[in-house]
A = this chain, B = another copy of it.
């Protein structure tokens, strides 16, 4: 295992070990799933739909300002939080329990 691979595995372990995290999916930009803690069917449907959304978000950011770039996309939903980190070669999707404190900060009406 080379250094890059080792660091990747360590990062994955660290993310998965967080108490709020219940799912991690890493998908190559060509759609191949590299690793996932979800069952196969959920992994495929999450990968497919979320990659499409991340592409839309990247275009949205770039169209508003060609010198800008998407770094991370977060969706606070009624049931959980979805974090999406698009990268050069792959995209990482992290599912975690809804953090209502963080959610309220996001809504910022009360921050």
Q: How many copies does the complex hold?
A: 2
Known contacts A45-B64, A77-B61, A79-B65; A107/B72 CB under 8 A = yes
Give A83's nearest chain B residue, CB to CB: B106
Chain B residues with CB under 8 Å of A33's CB are none
Q: Return the contact of A18 from the options B53, B60, B108 (Cβ within 8 A).
A: B108
Q: What's the tally of chain A residues with a CB closer than 8 Å to chain B?
A: 44
Chain B residues with CB under 8 Å of A63's CB are 45, 49
The residues of A with any CB-CB pair to B shorter than 8 Å are: 11, 14-15, 18, 21, 45-46, 49-50, 52-53, 56-57, 60-61, 63-65, 67-80, 82-83, 85, 94, 102-103, 105-109, 111
